[in-house]
Structures are given as C-alpha cells and as structure tokens.
Amino acid sequence: AADALAAAKVIAGDVAAIDINMGCPKHFSVSGGMGAALLSNADAACDIVSTLKQNLDLPVTAKIRLLEKREDTVELMQRL
C-alpha cells in the first residue's frame, strides 16, 4: 500500500482520479503480486484502496475481473 501511495502522489497533480487495475492477467503483473493477483489477496487489495482513499484528495476506483463465484465477487466489492 505504501508503494501504491508513493506512486499515486507522484502523479496526483496531473490526474483526475486513480484507477487500480486488479484485472490484468499478464505474467509480469501477476508474478509481482499486482493486477489480477490482487484478486487472490483481498487483504492487500483492501489495504491499497483504503490507503489511497485516506491519503489522497482524488477519487479512487478499482477495475476487477469477476471471480469464480458471484458471491465472492460481491464480498470483495463490499470490502473494497
């Protein structure tokens, strides 16, 4: 979350919002714990979103993929 906040602060003055891509399935992203890997680590995903929302004066959004079960998707979205 700290890395995400540091990166967001660098661009905060030049953007209208921060969009976290939790749907990217590319090996580079997933192997680094980013992109779609965040869907398997709800605690980290929620920590990132919460940290950004608490420390930035910008809207924060998250793009995701649907999970295997509809209920799991709804639960994750409610936590985010």
| Catalytic sites, residue numbers | 24
Pairing of strands 60-63, 18-21: parallel
CB burial class (10 A; 0-12, 13-18, 19+) of residue 22? buried
Q: How many C-beta neighbours within 10 Å does residue 78 have? A: 7
